[in-house]
């Protein structure tokens, strides 16, 4: 390795280190400023809580209120809604692609459903599915499914016409075109839709938990609001931020893994 190359690699490393350090610094400073401003009365610690109180609350939650159960419930709901959204979205997108007339018929309805604020359907879902975990998952599914269908379907329609023509010239059946071209060609679109889907699933689950739940992080937040325990609310939000960040990173890592060796 030449010294110039070494210098270049060093430069990249230093740059990376700099960025991470500054990011960590921002987080630490944020909490310090928050703590101090609450302590010296610059902000109302009853409304905004403060980091030390949040830590006490979280420790308390772990000790007496089964915090991990709440986290597990929310995670479970997210994962179920996420998986269902991807699988159903994929299947429905294939059906729409294979039956263009059907696609034309349902297109305005899909657009309508997509633009409708799904939370408006909340009361209806609760009546239909009951005040339980099912309602939360259905809520999340409603939010992520339409987006999944539209993203995957759009991926299908952008496939190079020449490749379809080529397969037709080999007398390929519809099924062969689907398995040999449409699905592998949309592989990266499908993988990219995972990222969108995980965000949507989280929104849906928390929204569902706000509407109807007995446990979960959304439940903790809404309960904290009702009893005016803002430290509880802040703790819930903080844990949620960490979980959604980890989930997102996991999906990105999965995407990297699945898209490696793809061109």
Partner 1 sequence: MTKCLLEINHLSKNYHTLNGEIMAISDLSLKVNEEEFVAIVGSSGCGKSTLLNILANLDSCSSGEIKYHKNNLKIGYMLQEDALFPWLTILDNALLGLKIAHEDTSENIAYVKKLLTTYGLKDFINKYPHELSGGMKQRVALIRTLAIKPDILLLDEPFSALDYQSRLAVSNDVYQIIKKEHKTVIMITHDIAEAISLASRVIVLSKRPAQIKNIYDINLDNPSNPINNRQDAKFSYYYEKIWKDLDINVI
Give residues in contact with partner 1 (CB under 8 A). 160, 162-163, 165-172, 176, 180-181, 184-185, 187, 262-263
Contact 96, 103 (CB under 8 A): yes
Minimum CB separation of residue 173 from partner 1 in Å reads: 8
Query: Containing H/E element for 255?
Result: helix 230-259
Question: Tokens at residue 57, please?
Answer: 């609350």
Contact 85, 165 (CB under 8 A): no
Nearer to partner 1 among residue 65 and residue 163 (C-beta):
163
Task: For residue 75, give every residue at least 6 positions away whose Cβ sits within 8 Å of its Cβ, in sequence order, or none.
Answer: 243
Measured distance CA(70)–CA(64) in Å, rounded: 12
Minimum CB separation of residue 162 from partner 1 in Å reads: 4
Minimum CB separation of residue 117 from partner 1 in Å reads: 38
Nearer to partner 1 among residue 168 and residue 256 (C-beta):
168
Nearer to partner 1 among residue 112 and residue 259 (C-beta):
259
Contact 44, 60 (CB under 8 A): no
Nearer to partner 1 among residue 88 and residue 172 (C-beta):
172
Nearer to partner 1 among residue 109 and residue 170 (C-beta):
170
> DSSP character for 201?
H
Minimum CB separation of residue 189 from partner 1 in Å reads: 13
Minimum CB separation of residue 178 from partner 1 in Å reads: 12
């Amino acid at each position: 390795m030449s010294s110039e190359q070494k210098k270049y690699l060093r430069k990249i490393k230093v740059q990376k280190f700099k960025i991470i350090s500054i990011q960590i610094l921002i987080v630490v400073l944020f909490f310090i400023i928050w703590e101090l401003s609450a302590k010296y009365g610059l902000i109302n610690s009853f409304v905004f809580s403060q980091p030390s109180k949040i830590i006490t609350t979280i420790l308390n939650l772990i000790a007496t209120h089964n915090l991990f159960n709440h986290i597990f419930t929310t995670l479970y709901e997210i994962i179920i809604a996420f998986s269902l959204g991807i699988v159903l979205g994929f299947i429905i997108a294939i059906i729409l692609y294979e039956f263009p007339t059907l696609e034309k018929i349902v297109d305005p309805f899909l657009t309508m459903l997509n633009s409708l604020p799904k939370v408006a359907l909340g009361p209806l879902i609760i009546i239909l599915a009951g005040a339980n975990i099912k309602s939360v998952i259905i809520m999340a599914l409603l939010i992520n499914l339409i987006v999944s269908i539209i993203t995957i379907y759009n991926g299908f329609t952008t496939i190079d016409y020449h490749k379809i023509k080529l397969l037709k010239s080999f007398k390929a059946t519809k099924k062969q075109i689907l398995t040999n071209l449409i699905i592998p060609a949309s592989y990266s679109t499908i993988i990219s839709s995972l990222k969108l889907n995980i965000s949507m699933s989280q929104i849906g689950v928390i929204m569902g938990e706000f509407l109807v739940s007995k446990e979960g992080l959304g439940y903790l937040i809404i309960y904290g609001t009702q009893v005016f325990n803002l430290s509880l609310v802040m703790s819930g939000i903080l844990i949620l931020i960490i979980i959604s960040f980890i989930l997102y990173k996991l999906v990105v890592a999965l995407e990297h893994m699945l898209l490696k060796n793809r061109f």
